[in-house]
Amino acid sequence: MLYLDTENNFAPDRLQQIAERFGQDPAFVLDNVRCAPIWNEDMFPETLRLAKQMISEEQVRLVIIDSIMGVFRFEYAGRGELSERQQKLGQLVYSIKKMAAEYNIAVLMTNQMTADPVRLYIYTTRPPRALTSSAVTPSNSIHFHL
């Protein structure tokens, strides 16, 4: 498994607990996980290039990107940069989908959700929405709202 970490949240201790909970050898599980931090948007293309190399050399079958929005959230602030952010995000998601198809792997992307502020004051049936709904949502096959 390859874990691309834009939030600096990778927790080997937690992964060890999960392995133990399911009766797996924690050392074996941790040995089969590679974590690559991504600190800014400019690192994504190079990281994906290295990911492709690792996928073919080490038989990686799962890539987790936590979170797809992590670096974009801070680098593009305000509505004035929304169009540019959505374009770059769309290009990134296209590259990720292409990589998944090319190498026949699963890719899991996490994303933050945002609630409608109106929901705090009146009853509404509108669910929370993804921060990247217009750029990422149409590109994904399955969505889980937790």
Q: Is the pLDDT of residue 131 over 80?
A: no
Residue 121 CA: distances (Å) to CA of 26, 124, 128:
46, 9, 15
Q: What pLDDT sits at residue 118?
A: 56
Q: Quote the CA–CA distance of 19 and 74 in Å, as a whole number.
A: 33
The residues that bridge with 75 in the sheet, in sequence order, are none
* pLDDT at site 76: 78
Residue 112's pLDDT band, with cuts at 50, 70 and 90, is: confident
Between 138 and 8, the higher pLDDT residue: 8
Instruction: Report pLDDT for 113.
Output: 64
37 touches 69 (CB < 8 A): no
Contact 72, 114 (CB under 8 A): no
The structure's pTM equals 0.79
Cα–Cα distance for residue pair 15/58, rounded to 1 Å? 20
97-106 per-position pLDDT tens digit:
999 999 999 9
Could you tell me the pLDDT band of residue 125, with boundaries at 50, 70 and 90? low
Q: What is the mean pLDDT of residues 59-81?
A: 85
Domains defined along the chain, listed by start: 2-139 (3.40.50.300)
